[in-house]
Amino acid sequence: MTWDMDYALDSLPPILEAFLRYTLLATVLGSVLAAVLGLVFAVIRRAHVPVLAPLTTVFIEFVRSTPIPIQLFFMFYVLPSIGITLGGLFVGVLTLGVHYACYYAEIYRAGIDAVPPGQWEACTALSLPARYQWQRVVLPQAIRNVLPSLGNYVISMFKETPFLFLISIPEMVRTAIDIGGGSFRYVEPLTIAGLIFLAASYPSSVALRRLEHRVGHA
């Protein structure tokens, strides 16, 4: 079994294209959705909104305990049957975003809990309205502290994007398999796909460790 360099170079452009068009796009959109929705979940729980807060807790536990592939299938097959037809990529981003929002919510919660009680008391003493208390005082401090942890989840979402091929999105790993299937040579395309994952996620995790260090000591 030898490594065929020409074949490897030939399969690189389509794999890179799939990486940019699907894998990276889904990661970015999914992370944005998760970051926003997770914050909403965290604030609902922390502010003890009646009815919504316990419902959010149950929802988070359920989503965190069930596999992404099954959630993808569920969304992919069930949404159309209740009359909602969305593109595959949209379903994928929605599922990944909601799944990770449930993890993000826990992280935000830890960040909010870490804001010193004095900050809350000062808000009360200044009789700031609740909206300002969250927007101007608590959340800016909380989010700054948890940025590195959120970043770690972006990396893990990135590594779970291959699931999207289950709902027929031709992301990077699927593309690699297809190239391999066309010529019965899987070594080069699959190895390249793996290396692209490594090349993208390892520097990011090193950068995050630096960020963690800086935030921790600031």
Binding site residues, other proteins, CB under 8 A:
1, 57, 60-62, 64-71, 73-74, 77-78, 81, 103, 106-107, 109-110, 149, 152-153, 156, 159-160, 162-163, 173, 176-177, 180, 186-187, 190-191, 193-194, 197-198, 201-202, 205, 208
CB of 11 to other proteins, least distance (A): 14
For 186, phi then psi, to 5°, come to -95, -20
CB of 169 to other proteins, least distance (A): 13
Task: Rank residues 17 and 61 by Cβ distance to other proteins and give the closer one.
Answer: 61
Task: Rank residues 123 and 142 by Cβ distance to other proteins and give the closer one.
Answer: 142
CB of 53 to other proteins, least distance (A): 14
Q: Classify each residue of 156-171 as buried b or exposed e, where b means 16 or more C-beta atoms within 10 Å of its C-beta.
A: ebbebbbbbbbbebbb
Residue where the block lists tokens 């596999």 = 67
Task: Rank residues 76 and 120 by Cβ distance to other proteins and give the closer one.
Answer: 76
Task: Rank residues 46 and 128 by Cβ distance to other proteins and give the closer one.
Answer: 46
Task: Rank residues 112 and 123 by Cβ distance to other proteins and give the closer one.
Answer: 112
Tokens matching residue 2: 């030898």
CB of 117 to other proteins, least distance (A): 21
Q: Classify each residue of 110-148 as buried b or exposed e, where b means 16 or more C-beta atoms within 10 Å of its C-beta.
A: ebbeebeeeeeeebeeeeeeeeebbeebbbeebbebbeb
CB of 6 to other proteins, least distance (A): 18
Question: How far is residue 99 from each of residues 68, 73, 74, 112, 145, measured CA to CA in Å?
Answer: 7, 13, 13, 21, 22
For 44, phi then psi, to 5°, come to -60, -45
